[in-house]
Amino acid sequence: MSSNIQIENYMKKHFKGTFLGCFCADDLPNNPPPNSNLIANYSDRDDSDGGTHWVAMINLNSDNGDPSLFFDSYGGDADFEDVVLQKQTNFKRYMDRHSGGSYGHNNINIQSRDGDACGHYAVHAILSQSIPSLTGQKRSANKAWSSFTSCFNTPEENDKLIKQMIKM
């Protein structure tokens, strides 16, 4: 799995929008500025596991007309339970509070279950400002992901390609 330092360094080089950084599940920023983006880990700050799974929160506190988005490469919503840690995070409450109560999320699994590319997928979601398949909100075009996912048959193939695309 990518480290927070690798992700933050990559985003500094390649993302021109507001990227707040990488955060633990229990340490999300209180008042993210409009149209900001962040990557969060299911692990809490004091967990000794070194981090389990990265997700992206996109276009928080939107004032640009685009919906806020929650992205999990396993296709889970913000209230999805982490199966490794066997715990619920505060991501749903956070998204409800910083999306105007309505946000889109992807509903398809694109990552292999034993893969370690979640950070790469989260970075791509923020760079493209899009997610593979939406529920809750609709966007007129989702070209960034449809072109990416159209050539795959398996999540294992997705993992290989995303690591080639996003080199951290």
Mean pLDDT, to the nearest integer, of 18-36?
Answer: 95
Q: For residue 62, what are the CA distances in angstroms to 23, 67, 69, 121, 128?
A: 20, 7, 10, 22, 16
The string of pLDDT tens digits covering residues 78-117 is: 887 766 557 778 899 999 999 977 888 888 888 998 889 9
- Beta-bridged to residue 54, according to DSSP, are 41
pTM of the model as a whole: 0.87
